[in-house]
Amino acid sequence: MNLQSLSGEELVVLASIVAVSLSRNQDIKTIKTLIHLLQAIEQNLLKILIQREIEKK
């Protein structure tokens, strides 16, 4: 999955799904993977927000 190609809204939906998975999953390896995915989503959302601010100016 290429997170770069997803829109901000799609990243938020994906983050929500990951958060629900985290709350229901007790396997430590899966939790670590989901946390890494959430961190990647957060970084991409920040990039999108910064890009939108630059485009406004």
Q: What is the pLDDT along the chain (57 residues), one digit of tens a residue?
A: 577 777 888 888 888 888 888 788 677 887 788 888 888 888 888 888 898 889 888
pTM: 0.62
Compute the distance between CA of residue 48 and CA of residue 23 in angstroms, rounded to an integer: 27
pLDDT at residue number 7: 81
H or E stretch at 50: helix 28-56
pLDDT at 13: 87
- Tokens describing residue 38: 């959430």
Q: Are 3 and 40 in contact (CB under 8 A)?
A: yes
